[in-house]
Structure 1
């Protein structure tokens, strides 16, 4: 069977594309993507070509761009391109050049698809790429998901030449005169993938001459195993995991009733920055006291009573802000609006806890916005006696992360309000109030959900 026949059959069998689809082709100028583009165009699909110039290889990067542009022009195919300051982006984000290029590429692809009406993105990964990726993921401990990597289709991303080996693609390029350029960095052994490609895979092919076919079959089975695990984990999550706003709450008793527990912890927690070696730490958190936490690069995992709570971000320091006059509240980044205005009676304070109204004559500037601390106390709205904030939070069943995020506003040594939660009764609006300090907070400062 000819390559083009295999190509069309693979697309049909795997339902990668059909008549009416608008397909954006990611084309670097290398042999894989140039052959993929040639196959799509000569097969009659509706396509456009997208090229990223990462400016990492000087004149070679520009030559790649020129080649792809000329190819698109020769076949009268829409050509989209973008040039990136990849090294600057990597430094700014604190990530590797490879990660930066990936982020920039896919972000731009998605914008281009939306702008020009493409519904599919074609990527030119081949069978050899899939083998290398599986081996690379094996060294990284990515679990069954990594073993099932590079599926023919992942949502709107399709890989229509993943059935073909690198040798088959090279042969097609030579046979049909498809132009392409070699990225010299593909030969450099400073990259882990290239070490696998040039050192590890050849040895495995010596052991098993059909190694690539074997890995292809393994990947298919791994994909099926992944579906089995996914179905099982759906049941685990249904009984033990719930999302409240941006936080994930995990019922510990329900979670530990499932087995094998360590593998379940892997499936639940690795997306939140826990490495395989950190699973024992998560296991210890299951039996620790309330208040203990694990901090990852992207999330914080708290033990809170009978739950684990996963919350985005890291414990951010919040330096106290001194607000000298009312209008300066609008410079804090915490408010939608803050102003002093006159009112008439009867006046009904808004129900939203994001909308604070205080008797302006009682609020003495400067005021301070800060994190709460142990020993802080106030008189909650509607009450007559002081309550320690720690006791108030306990009574209100605040979680550990909610406590950590709580901000208070202080005036002349007195707490005016817990922002997004409750004001002090002494500063409430009464029938005697003529002017109010009105503060509308941004959504993130609503700290209680009840």
Structure 2
């Protein structure tokens, strides 16, 4: 009932703990009935608030009319007023997004800037019960999983929605009862946008069969929201059992994942955080029965079957650059860590270090500048102790390196020949011999997590 709206409004804010009455709230007001009623309720409740309005310059004179109306409303309610105009179309073209996405990004970025600059605690939007139900239905149609079925949340970080308890009809009735003026957005009368289609076509048809559908669905989304807490707790327990971190790679044991229940749900909750779509999650599950080396590549990661593990490794944003090392350099910093280089007269009484991270080379067989780079197909060397050349790719297979490990292998090149595959093997042609007089020692200190 409209005459109970103010009481229900303050009770909802208190019950949901949206904000403390002493805190300042920035109200996003478009000029439509929802946001105008919200501003009126804030004023009547005596809360400390200000009005913020965005002119997206999408409806010509109508956009200017809305701006003037909201400015006058702020004056009428004696509330501080903030306003901005956006070139929304230009932003959408530059960022290659839809007009709706452009408007939303511009709006929230500006509101947050004002909130922060002017010392407001929260931003309030006028989303109501129907908005939340529409969101849940759209998410259900798109297939977003349980997280999309809770509708619009009352509070997300610094954004609050104090009207989610109210039906649209109640807001309209309150405006009529209090003789509150508002403006109509002509874009709300078209079914061009997805939300308007659900608002004007889908929900009214459902209400023909179930008149209380909106209220019932809103109650269901509330129960789903509570069930989601329990669901997420269970999911987190399963993820802790399955995910093992090794540097920037995450590892999932194949056998454990195969026996987890429910498999598809847990797999989706794990792999969606690594850019995996619902369809790709099914492809990942096929890796459980495949041989090593098979992988699924998402927009951000590669998920690889490697023996008894699924390895989740980030895609390299850019190729590792080639690094030139001059004879004078003693310390080299690169993406894989650091090289420490020193040349000294050979002492035949000192043993040659056996660490794979130290290369001791005959200085007379090495020509500067050296080139440090990632290995590539076609690379080869004469591994220490072997009279025949061997492809680096074959060497890595023999070492049983996983695909992510192979992608992190570096080589040192001298005069177009590889003298060291870092951490694995030096070339036989540059080894220390009884005739060696000067030793070039190169120590590799790997970065943490490598």
* Structure 2 equivalent of residue 372 of structure 1: 376
Q: Secondary structure at the residue paired with 2:289?
A: coil
* Structure 2 equivalent of residue 187 of structure 1: 189
Over 3 Å counting, the alpha-carbon distance change for 1:415 and 1:126 in structure 2 is farther
Do 1:236 and 1:255's aligned partners in 2 also have CA atoms closer than 8 Å?
A: no
TM-score, normalised with respect to structure 1: 0.77
Q: Which stretch shows the higher mean deviation, 370-379 or 119-128?
A: 370-379
* Structure 1 equivalent of residue 352 of structure 2: none
Q: Secondary structure at the residue paired with 2:54?
A: strand
Over 3 Å counting, the alpha-carbon distance change for 1:370 and 1:122 in structure 2 is same
Per-residue CA distance 1:253-290 (angstroms, 9 max, x = gap): 22233211112222223344433334321210222222
Q: Is 1:400 aligned with 2:403?
A: yes
Q: Within 1, Cα distance between the matches of 2:108 and 2:246?
A: 30
Q: Secondary structure at the residue paired with 1:286?
A: helix
Query: Computing the radius of gyration over CA atoms, which structure comes out larger, 1 or 2?
Result: 2
* Structure 1 equivalent of residue 52 of structure 2: 50
Per-residue CA distance 1:308-342 (angstroms, 9 max, x = gap): 233445x6674x9678xx6xxxxxxxxxxx99867
Q: Is 1:207 aligned with 2:190?
A: no
* Structure 2 equivalent of residue 36 of structure 1: 38
Q: Secondary structure at the residue paired with 1:113?
A: helix
Q: Where in structure 2 are the equivalents of 1:70-85 lying within 5 Å?
A: 70-85=72-87
Shift, 1:132, TM fit: 0.9
TM-score, normalised with respect to structure 2: 0.77
* Structure 1 equivalent of residue 172 of structure 2: 170
Q: Within 2, Cα distance between the matches of 1:188 and 1:371?
A: 58
* Structure 2 equivalent of residue 412 of structure 1: 415
> Which 5+ residue runs of structure 2 have no aligned equivalent?
344-362, 432-436
Over 3 Å counting, the alpha-carbon distance change for 1:161 and 1:392 in structure 2 is farther
Q: Where in structure 2 are the equivalents of 1:34-433 lying within 5 Å?
A: 34-244=36-246, 246-313=248-315, 318=319, 354-358=337-341, 364=368, 369=373, 372-373=376-377, 375-377=379-381, 389-390=392-393, 399-404=402-407, 410=413, 412-415=415-418
Per-residue CA distance 1:61-111 (angstroms, 9 max, x = gap): 333333333333443433334433333333343332222322333333333
Over 3 Å counting, the alpha-carbon distance change for 1:432 and 1:283 in structure 2 is same
Q: Within 1, Cα distance between the matches of 2:93 and 2:298?
A: 21
> Which 5+ residue runs of structure 1 have no aligned equivalent?
327-337, 441-445
Q: Within 2, Cα distance between the matches of 1:417 and 1:180?
A: 75
* Structure 2 equivalent of residue 449 of structure 1: 449
Shift, 1:125, TM fit: 0.9
Shift, 1:391, TM fit: 6.5
Over 3 Å counting, the alpha-carbon distance change for 1:121 and 1:367 in structure 2 is same
Do 2:327 and 2:368's aligned partners in 1 also have CA atoms closer than 8 Å?
A: no
Task: Report the aligned-residue RMSD.
Answer: 4.1
Do 1:248 and 1:310's aligned partners in 2 also have CA atoms closer than 8 Å?
A: yes
Do 1:11 and 1:17's aligned partners in 2 also have CA atoms closer than 8 Å?
A: yes
Per-residue CA distance 1:215-265 (angstroms, 9 max, x = gap): 011111111221221111011011002445554432332223321111222
Give the number of aligned pairs: 420
* Structure 1 equivalent of residue 357 of structure 2: none
Shift, 1:291, TM fit: 2.4
